[in-house]
Amino acid sequence: MTGLRLDGLGVDVDRTPIVRDLTVDCPPGRFVGLLGPNGSGKSTVLKTVYHALRPRAGTVLLDGLDLHRDLGPRAAARQVSALTQEHSGDIHLSVGDVVTTGRLLHQNTWSRTSTLDREIVAEALRTVGMTEKTHRSFASLSGGEKQRVLLARALAAQPRLLVLDEPTNHLDIGSRLDLLELIRSLGITVLAALHDLDLAAAFCDLVHVLADGKVVAAGPPAEVLTPGLLRQVFRVHAHRGLHPVTGRPHFAFSSLTSEAPSLPGAPPPADGCSPLLAEPHQRVQDPFPAVKGTS
């Protein structure tokens, strides 16, 4: 088992290069984050992984299988499930029916929902804690509940890879934490585009930072997300501390164009670490040398 590897990926949208020579590794069972400013190519990368876009160059390998050359869209969709930030809130189906649609990829045109399908759907609902709302209208749920149901639908497809495209942006902070804690607990390989750097630091095993369609840094969040790199990529002052419960990094930000007023008697901010990258495109050492580069 080699997990997901994007190797030398190049993707164009409307004949415009968006992603250039991008390489990303997701070891099996790891939660891997794609970070970067708007327009850096995060969503384009994910759409290429879940077959919404085709690469101009490079390969998308899942456990050594090329998702574009070896599989068609339907077969690839059985391997990769996507959970995005956008969904129709007025779906007029019950929760159970929404999750059951995750089984359609495993059925042919004349198939009916089987006993096995129903068991898999019930297990997916149990996993996300939504069993008691099986018969509720999807449209009547809160935002956090809807994302749990859509996660259950993704799990009902029994994928080997879960792709998340900013799945928490419209949720309150409690729902964000609940959803990501649930996803992390599943033990499935996850590739997620995230805007919130605190959430990335809290939940990701590895992060890849993108700028202008290229990876400029990769590695564990504590090593990669330095004030120097965040200034370079996001154009902000990043004031880094440690979370008092998890011990992972968390951040406060201020604009490069204005100095935030300091409180009387407050010490000057200290980031407690120095940038790891001597050059913009130097990559942090891979913490999984036995995994990286295999296919």
Query: What range defines the domain where residue 192 resides?
Result: 4-255
Report how far residue 105's alpha carbon sits from residue 117's, in angstroms, rounded to the nearest whole number.
11
- Please report whether residue 32 resides in a domain: yes
pLDDT on residue 280: 37
What mean pLDDT do residues 48-72 have? 93
Q: Is 73 or 213 the better-scoring residue by pLDDT? A: 213
- Please report whether residue 194 resides in a domain: yes
The 10s digit of each residue's pLDDT in 188-214 is: 999 999 999 999 999 999 999 999 999
- Please report whether residue 157 resides in a domain: yes
pLDDT on residue 88: 57
- Please report whether residue 295 resides in a domain: no
Q: Can you give the CATH number for the domain in which 106 is found? A: 3.40.50.300
- Please report whether residue 291 resides in a domain: no
Look at residues 44, 2, 8 and name the one whose alpha carbon lies nearest to residue 23: 8
Structurally, how many domains does the chain consist of?
1
pLDDT band (50, 70, 90) for residue 292? very low
What mean pLDDT do residues 142-159 have? 95
Q: What is the DSSP string of 74-108?
A: HHHHHHEEEEES---TT--SBHHHHHHGGGGGGS-
The 10s digit of each residue's pLDDT in 101-126 is: 999 988 876 678 899 999 999 999 99
Q: Is 85 or 188 the better-scoring residue by pLDDT? A: 188
Are the beta carbons of 138 and 95 closer than 8 angstroms? Answer: yes
Q: What is the DSSP string of 1-54?
A: ---EEEEEEEEEETTEEEEEEEEEEE-TT-EEEEE--TTSSHHHHHHHHTTSS-
Q: pTM to 2 decimals?
A: 0.84
Within 10 angstroms of residue 202's Cβ, the number of other Cβ atoms is 19
Report how far residue 24's alpha carbon sits from residue 2's, in angstroms, rounded to the nearest whole number.
12
- Please report whether residue 290 resides in a domain: no
Are the beta carbons of 227 and 250 closer than 8 angstroms? Answer: no
Are the beta carbons of 183 and 25 closer than 8 angstroms? Answer: no
- Please report whether residue 280 resides in a domain: no
Token pair for 291: 């995994």
- Please report whether residue 30 resides in a domain: yes
Structure letter (DSSP) for residue 29:
T
